[in-house]
Structure 1
Amino acid sequence: MNSRAKRAIVPLAGAVIASGVVGASLTTTAEAQAKPRTKTVTLAKSAAEATAIVKAWTPAKLKAAKSYTEELGVKGKLARSVRPAKADGPAGSVPPIGASSSGSAKNVNLPRTVGKVFFEIGGEQYWCSATSIQSKYRNLVATAGHCAYDTDTNTATKQFVFIPSYHQGKAPYGVYVGYKLNFHSDFDVFEDYDRDYAFINVYNGIKPNTGPTKDFRPVDVGRLGDNVGGQGFTWNRNPKSTYFTFGYPAGAHLDGDKPYSGNTMKWCYGTSSTMPAAPEFNVQEHLGFKCAFTPGASGGPWLYGYRNSTRVGYVGGVNSLVWDTDGNGRYDRVSSPYFDGETYSVYKAAANLWSPVYPGAKKAPVGSGPAHKG
């Protein structure tokens, strides 16, 4: 067990579009004040390497992966933070793409953009939750920073893939290999979980490896955003805002109860408020709301303005920590870094990056692959 796991109190498996460029015509006070410190790391250097990664993630390997237990839990009474989250400029937003018409429903319609990210750390296979998010090249995934970068070894996770709409082992829209990892340098340098978010550019999707590995041939199913759409992005929102969060909880509560399998997507809904400091994770400015998610929900999006009829909203946070605030052995809150002008700067840098294509990969026949277009 690494040092971060040891010091965790409890472990938990978390604008304007102009001329096609995200944020091209908007300069906010927050952006002018913020000093962008985006760190970018290449995950898979070539299409050949990306193909090999999809080939390696066999159904058995996906099934054997564990929810990422390095995510973090905090136990303690709610208290006022000495430095609560607050806006560093006016609020802003980037609109979503690929809204679908789902009609009216009594239950919450789950977003097709949300799925699982699978990766390796120290030769072990893990997964977290994530979502497709709007970008110039329709190739971007949002998740928690600790689901893409290991601060103990100061290295990016390996074999990184995203499977949107993951359901009981199936990849209905293909497998998307990580190309570029973009995150705030404070997460790396200071292990600052007030910056626990990451935006990953991905290659086009490939049909999953479902047969003998030696027979695997890549079939290109197209861009992520074309296939499942992409959630919008928002920053500098009122700390008291209403969100839906989605993810794949899997682990047990502190009392041992294990209500979730991790095979299907779940959701919570609530109004956020500022959370107390968690010094062991350098947390001062998290927001949280009531939710009983357990390990596996890490990295799942907080969606502001989510509409049940279209299945899209605006990413205004990601699941980072879980909290047992009343000491009864049950997780009762999730928390996220506050998305401010610096978060927008990291997002904007990632949202304008291109991913390579698969030269020579077979194209999926019309009508045989994902059909949803944004």
Structure 2
Amino acid sequence: MTEPVAPVADGGATPPARAKGKLFFNGYASDNTYCTASVLSTPSKSVVITAAHCVYNAEEGWVKDAVFVPDYDRTQADPDPVGVWTVRSIRTFNSWRADQTDYSSDVAYVTLNNGGDANKPVADVVGGYGLAWGGSHVFRATIFGYPTNKTSPDGSSTVHSCVRTTEQSEGKLKVEGCDFGMGASGGPWLYRYNESTGLGYVRSVTSLWRPLDGVNRGPYFTEAVKTMLDATAGD
């Protein structure tokens, strides 16, 4: 594996980091459509990663009025404990925009404006995961998401997690048994996740779900994923 981008803790708050959350579309409301996204460690401290199919399709184009809510939890009195961040720009692979069946390219970066209750870059408030690419297709992954098919607790209300060992599947990654349905798309697959710090390295995102057997798939990150992240510096 190429030397990864290291994760970063938030600007002084008590661990663990709260870098995962919901990416809402068409404004912030509990009944609007959403995906899962997570904050990355970048120089701008303002980038989240999600699945490309969450933010672009050929029929409708780019999503409108998207906002990111880290640590979203509707089971609590305050479902957005650190506030809401609006979206400044979105970046995907050209190959995804040309062919939405190319799930090996199902990755997107969303650059946020300063925001939240403190009007700061999001990683300054909640921390940011590292990014890793290359290496074996087999690794222990901690996967987070907001799957609408989950109950007890309701997956649309609070985050769910699943720990599995990944497998290779037609050049992509897959896990069995998580059964993360709609809403979990874009959620991070974390390598070397540390429960105490709440940090790890994103090595894939949830891309596909097969309801018949609960299998989830995600793209295998190559150096192109890191190159696209570097390009967000100008967004």
Shorter-chain TM range is 0.7 to 0.9
- Aligned partner of 1:46 in structure 2 is none
Alpha-carbon distance in 2 for matches of 1:187, 1:261? 28
- Aligned partner of 1:353 in structure 2 is 234
- Aligned partner of 2:35 in structure 1 is 128
Change over 3 Å in CA distance of 1:259–1:230 after alignment to 2: closer
Alpha-carbon distance in 2 for matches of 1:307, 1:294? 25
**How many angstroms does 1:244 deviate by?**
0.3
- Aligned partner of 2:97 in structure 1 is 188
- Taking only the aligned residue pairs, the percentage that are identical comes to 30
What SS is found at the alignment partner of 2:148? coil
Tell me which of 59, 64, 77 is aligned to 1:158.
Answer: 64
**How many angstroms does 1:258 deviate by?**
9.1
Check whether the contact 1:101–1:310 (CA below 8 A) recurs between aligned residues: no
Alpha-carbon distance in 1 for matches of 2:14, 2:113? 27
Q: Which amino acid aligns with 2:86?
A: V
Structure with larger Rg: 1
- Aligned partner of 2:208 in structure 1 is 321
Alpha-carbon distance in 2 for matches of 1:126, 1:238? 34
**How many angstroms does 1:120 deviate by?**
3.3
- Aligned partner of 1:342 in structure 2 is 224
What SS is found at the alignment partner of 1:348? helix
- Aligned partner of 2:160 in structure 1 is 266
Alpha-carbon distance in 2 for matches of 1:170, 1:260? 14
Check whether the contact 1:141–1:201 (CA below 8 A) recurs between aligned residues: yes
Unaligned runs of 5+ in 1: 1-89, 103-108, 208-219, 276-283, 355-374
Matched ranges for 1:260-339 at <5 A: 260-275=154-169, 284-290=170-176, 291-324=178-211, 329=212, 331-339=213-221
- Aligned partner of 2:128 in structure 1 is 230
- The alignment status of 1:98 with 2:4, answered yes or no, reads no
Alpha-carbon distance in 2 for matches of 1:177, 1:101? 25
Report the number of matched residues: 225
Alpha-carbon distance in 2 for matches of 1:173, 1:353? 26
Alpha-carbon distance in 1 for matches of 2:203, 2:99? 23
What SS is found at the alignment partner of 1:158? coil
Alpha-carbon distance in 1 for matches of 2:160, 2:122? 22
**How many angstroms does 1:180 deviate by?**
1.3
What SS is found at the alignment partner of 2:4? strand
Alpha-carbon distance in 2 for matches of 1:167, 1:92? 34
- Aligned partner of 2:48 in structure 1 is 141
- Aligned partner of 1:278 in structure 2 is none
Matched ranges for 1:186-225 at <5 A: 186-191=95-100, 192-207=102-117, 221-225=119-123
**How many angstroms does 1:201 deviate by?**
0.7
What SS is found at the alignment partner of 1:91? coil
Check whether the contact 2:50–2:109 (CA below 8 A) recurs between aligned residues: yes
Q: Which amino acid aligns with 2:203?
A: G
What SS is found at the alignment partner of 1:92? coil
**How many angstroms does 1:333 deviate by?**
1.9
What SS is found at the alignment partner of 2:209? strand
- The alignment status of 1:114 with 2:20, answered yes or no, reads yes
Alpha-carbon distance in 2 for matches of 1:228, 1:101? 10
**How many angstroms does 1:235 deviate by?**
0.4
Alpha-carbon distance in 1 for matches of 2:59, 2:165? 33
Q: Which amino acid aligns with 1:267?
A: S
Unaligned runs of 5+ in 2: none
What SS is found at the alignment partner of 2:39? strand
Q: Which amino acid aligns with 1:228?
A: V
Q: Deviations over 1:175-210 (max 9, x none)?
A: 111111111110001222110010111001144xxx
Q: Deviations over 1:69-114 (max 9, x none)?
A: xxxxxxxxxxxxxxxxxxxxx5230000116765xxxxxx7x5110
